[in-house]
Structure 1
Amino acid sequence: MDTQSDSRSEPRNDFPRIISVDDHTVEPAHVWQDRLPKRYLDTGPRIVRAPLKEMTFLGGRFKPVMGDPGSQEGPLGDWWVYEDLHRPLTRLDTAVGYSRDDIKLEVITYEQMRAGSYDVPRRLADMDVNHVQSALCFPTFPRFCGQTFTEAADKDLALLCVRAYNDWMVEEWCGPEAHGRLIPLTLIPLWDAELAAQEVRRNARRGVRAVAFSEIPPHLGLPSVHTDAWDPFLAACDETGTVVAMHIGSSSRMPSTSADAPPAVGSTITFANCCFSMVDWLMSGKFERFPNLRIMYAEGQIGWIPYILERADVVWEENRGWGGVADKVHRPPSELFAGHVHGCFFDDAFGLRNLDSIGVGNVLYETDYPHSDSTWPESRQVGEAQMGHLPGDVVERIVRGNAIELLGLTEDGLWQGAR
């Protein structure tokens, strides 16, 4: 297919309603307080309003310091407090509605954020403004794959927190009030693959078809995908059709070049962890062992994929004798990619110009609401500008069709729970 033909065609007036596979929710203050046993309410996640003493974000490391509640040590913000963790809500968590120049690293309260960040009806209204029909949302306080609970000291409480989040995600965030337009993405207890498998199956019975995972687990002190440690979890995903969703930063280590590099450096190369992770998976042999396994990379963009596939094929073909993969990877990595891997983008004109080298069926669209990179409220306009050269059926697949197939949605692009 020549996806670069018809580049002079007029913009279409029938741009498909978007299914975004990477948006975010800012959890309401009650999520864990409403769901944990009473004995854990003073140690489980809770919101405290307190001042900020200091905060840095250098070399990919975020370091906030909370002042004493009730003091006047600095600007007030709402902080998640959990065991010894103090994590503030920041403007980077929810930046939509602010000009680019006004988006800074600062603490905020719930009243200072757009209500669509945490309120279902207001989220749906903001989706309408943005030509978005449905959205899959990654967490904020748990971090992108539940690292917050993985790092906790009390693993019994951490497991309860994971399950409480998943119950809130399925029953409230994606509940009846969402009318099928919010698609659940659940967490697992990363520290125990057997418990993770149980949680995948528990949520699959409720119609969940996506679970968050780390792009590079060893950065979290966990086994790599080259070991057998994750096999119970992967088997559960394979059996239930649950997609393994990996967001940039889900290894708690954003790419950077030095300890003093400004955030702009890391922001430019955020795709790097996705790149490293994808090569891990392609050379792991897991797609051979779990033929129904599908993975997706959120916010990694897609323009880098063609070269990596080309290089991986060359290495697999020419270096198999000493490369350590001959006995477990039996097909070219590019073939494995075609059947198992999905890249997600929101602003990647270069990738779209090279779509033939990636694969129409391997690309998904996103809007990143409510983060600072979000194309809200102009995701339709951005999509039309970048995809104007593509045939209508290709645009339909990228903007919604591939997501419907991958996430098991209805033909209308809605989630209906267990069916």
Structure 2
Amino acid sequence: MDLPKIISIDDHVIEPADVWQSRLPAKYRDVGPRVIQERGKMQFVGGVFSYEPSDEGELCDWWLYEDKRVPQTRLSAAAGFSREEVKVTGITYEEMRDGCYDPVARLADMDMNHTEAQMSFPSFPRFCGQTFMEAEDKELSDLCVKAYNDWMVEEWCAGSDGRLIPLTIVQLWDAELAAAEIHRNAERGVRAVCFSEIPPYLNLPSIHTDYWEPFFRACEETGTVINMHIGSSSKMPSTSTDAPAAVGSTLTFGNAMSSMADWLFSGWLDRLPTLKLAYSEGQIGWIPYILERADNVWEENRAWGGFGDKVPEPPSTYYYRQIYGCFFDDVYGLDNLEKVGVNNICFETDYPHSDSTWPHSKETAEKLMGHLPEDVIYKLMRGNAIEMLGLDFDK
């Protein structure tokens, strides 16, 4: 089947070791993000990732930042490893596939995978930059956010002829700074930013407050899409502290579903009618039910629902107008495509993570979407992404 080239809105980049060391002022280089190599042990149980240095553990490259020690893991750099080899274990840059951190090699890996363009979330800063929010020295944190964005725009994406789509982070601890960073990056063509699914999980104000208004308005004014990846609240769904990782992996959509309910009843989508949201790696099969439930609650429980006149239209109205879902393998969601919204979902490849369909994303797309009309396949594989991000690719 002659499928259109993929434009993926959910992939990941492993930051090279010199991203911050080459950009921070000299006085911060001893405390700013830097990489060392040592052995350590790690595990993922009950939705919580834990690790510790150990002479008996695997050799691993570790990020150091203030008092943090963060290992590189094979789960985050799984490309090139068989499924049996993808484990919760440390990894070094030398063991990774070059496409994890090198833009030229990334483009080559995209060519192998029928992918024209992709947008990558951060790794060390975590999925919405919360690493810098948690740090003590906010002057340094501000510099780290800006250094990451400069690297993303000027190095990672530069020279790719638009194939590597910039995705930035902001100063989550200060909505005014965040708004200024949106405008700074929009001036150089950036149209996507990371944000948390559920900010209170990061000890930040919820979206039901006015705290975020400067940031949200800046995003609407500049046409910047707010992208929320599973795990961007630093709390993955699980049922108990001793539940195996498979339980959390099965429930990864849970935070995206909760977040969408938040947004649908927040009033922001009515106040900011051109603001766009995207949920990455949350899959799509759950969307029809949450829309049905939200509309029923809006209709039946308005006397005590607490949303007052902030949501004048049925919540599903705002979803179909302003929200995008993202999938890589969701047969049930595609079976319910009409209710999910043919204009509301985008395909992803998730390179180089353990769930990635690389280098077989085309075959996966054929299996999932081959029975659909050509115009629908086009929308799912690239057209909706082009529309969402205002990309300069052939429609």
* TM-score where L is the length of structure 2: 0.99
For 1:39 and 1:64, the matched residues in 2 are separated by 29
Partner of 2:18 in structure 1? 30
For 2:195 and 2:99, the matched residues in 1 are separated by 25
Partner of 2:33 in structure 1? 45
Q: Deviations over 1:265-298 (max 9, x none)?
A: 0000100000000000000000111111100000
Partner of 2:86 in structure 1? 103
Partner of 1:403 in structure 2? 385
For 2:90 and 2:43, the matched residues in 1 are separated by 12
Question: 8 Å contact 2:8–2:347 — kept in the other structure?
Answer: yes
1:234-249 paired onto structure 2 within 5 Å: 234-249=216-231
**1:124 counterpart = 2:107:** yes
The residue type equivalent to 2:67 in the other structure is D
**1:192 counterpart = 2:179:** no
For 1:326 and 1:220, the matched residues in 2 are separated by 27
For 2:259 and 2:349, the matched residues in 1 are separated by 22
What secondary structure sits across from 1:35 in the alignment? coil
Partner of 2:3 in structure 1? 15
Deviation of 1:193 after TM superposition, in Å, equals: 0.3
**1:138 counterpart = 2:82:** no
The residue type equivalent to 1:112 in the other structure is E
Q: Deviations over 1:38-97 (max 9, x none)?
A: 000000000001111x32211111111125xxxx44321100000000001010111111
Deviation of 1:238 after TM superposition, in Å, equals: 0.7
The match for 1:281 among 222, 238, 263 is 263
**Structure 2 unmatched runs, 5+:** none
For 1:88 and 1:326, the matched residues in 2 are separated by 46
Question: 8 Å contact 2:283–2:325 — kept in the other structure?
Answer: yes
The match for 1:156 among 123, 130, 139 is 139
1:321-360 paired onto structure 2 within 5 Å: 321-360=303-342
For 1:147 and 1:47, the matched residues in 2 are separated by 19
Partner of 1:291 in structure 2? 273
**1:309 counterpart = 2:296:** no
Question: 8 Å contact 2:196–2:229 — kept in the other structure?
Answer: yes
Percent identity, aligned pairs only, is 63
**1:365 counterpart = 2:332:** no
Partner of 2:243 in structure 1? 261
Deviation of 1:325 after TM superposition, in Å, equals: 1.1
Q: Deviations over 1:209-252 (max 9, x none)?
A: 00000000000000001100000000000100000000000000
- Equivalenced residues, count: 395
For 2:134 and 2:78, the matched residues in 1 are separated by 27
**Structure 1 unmatched runs, 5+:** 1-12, 414-419
Question: 8 Å contact 1:66–1:86 — kept in the other structure?
Answer: no
Partner of 1:59 in structure 2? 46
What secondary structure sits across from 1:308 in the alignment? helix
For 2:203 and 2:49, the matched residues in 1 are separated by 18
The match for 2:370 among 359, 369, 388 is 388
Deviation of 1:14 after TM superposition, in Å, equals: 1.6
Q: Deviations over 1:374-410 (max 9, x none)?
A: 0001100110111012100011011001111111111
Q: Which has the higher mean CA deviation after the structures are superposed, 88-97 or 216-225? A: 88-97
Q: Which has the higher mean CA deviation after the structures are superposed, 16-25 or 320-329? A: 320-329
Deviation of 1:412 after TM superposition, in Å, equals: 3.0
What secondary structure sits across from 2:172 in the alignment? coil
What secondary structure sits across from 1:284 in the alignment? coil
For 1:137 and 1:370, the matched residues in 2 are separated by 10
For 2:17 and 2:111, the matched residues in 1 are separated by 25
Deviation of 1:179 after TM superposition, in Å, equals: 2.2
The match for 2:148 among 161, 165, 184 is 165
For 1:17 and 1:260, the matched residues in 2 are separated by 42
For 1:92 and 1:85, the matched residues in 2 are separated by 20
**1:89 counterpart = 2:72:** yes
**1:113 counterpart = 2:113:** no
For 2:36 and 2:53, the matched residues in 1 are separated by 10
Partner of 1:5 in structure 2? none
Question: 8 Å contact 1:144–1:212 — kept in the other structure?
Answer: yes
The residue type equivalent to 1:298 in the other structure is S
Deviation of 1:411 after TM superposition, in Å, equals: 3.0
For 2:49 and 2:339, the matched residues in 1 are separated by 36
The residue type equivalent to 1:262 in the other structure is P
Question: 8 Å contact 2:42–2:90 — kept in the other structure?
Answer: no
* TM-score where L is the length of structure 1: 0.93
What secondary structure sits across from 2:35 in the alignment? strand
What secondary structure sits across from 1:322 in the alignment? coil
For 2:369 and 2:59, the matched residues in 1 are separated by 43
What secondary structure sits across from 2:307 in the alignment? coil
The residue type equivalent to 1:162 in the other structure is V
Partner of 1:376 in structure 2? 358
